[in-house]
Amino acid sequence: MSPWLAVTIVTWVALLVLYLGLAATLRQVRLLSAELTALRAGGDTRTTGVDLHLPALAVPDGPAARLVVAADTGCPACHVTVETLAALAPGLPVPPLLLTYEPPQVWRDLAGHMEVRQDTESWRALRHLAPPVLMSVDASGRVIDLALPSSPEDVPRTLSAWGFRTDPAASSRAGG
């Protein structure tokens, strides 16, 4: 085989691989764009529920759903989410729970607003998600729904979408 023919074949193969990569990328962009459009329109694009069970959070005689936020003191977004949720806590039917791998003393300023629980097993189950993770958890410890809030406005909006009613005065203090 001549060098010219080899270079031509390698060039065409490289162009074909590049084209297939571009086609796959454009397909993903189109799917993400459609999902974003559906979310903006208020639709729910998920086809399956959350498949996460945290037995340590089970409260057999507890409420049908309880709010749990997984947070880390080294995460600025976690502090914003926890502070917003603590401001909304007086208006919630059940005080929310803060789940952490750290000793509860590091969150001592939440006393009276939220229960703080150190649970490394539950934290490990959430390790693939970046904190803060806001969850609605049923009495058996199964996660009903979850959100990854990135601003103070996301917390009351998520609670409202999940059907949690808060006191309007607490909601206005939290920025929602």
Q: Is 170 helix (H, G, I), strand (E, B) or coil?
A: helix
**125, 118 Cβ separation under 8 angstroms:** no
Which CATH number applies to 55-173: 3.30.750.80, 3.40.30.10, 3.30.420.40, 3.40.50.300?
3.40.30.10
Cα–Cα distance measured from residue 45 to residue 106, given in angstroms and rounded to the nearest whole number: 38
The dihedral over CA atoms of 94, 174, 117, 127, expressed in degrees to the nearest 10, equals: 120
139: Cβ contacts below 8 Å, ≥ 6 apart: 58, 59, 60, 61, 62, 63, 64, 66
pLDDT, tens only, 42-65:
544 443 456 788 887 888 777 778
Residue type, 154: D
pLDDT, tens only, 12-43:
999 999 999 999 999 888 888 777 776 666 54
Global pTM?
0.64
In the chain, what are the domain boundaries? Answer: 1-43, 55-173
- Length of the chain counted residue by residue: 176
Give the per-residue pLDDT at 18.
Answer: 96
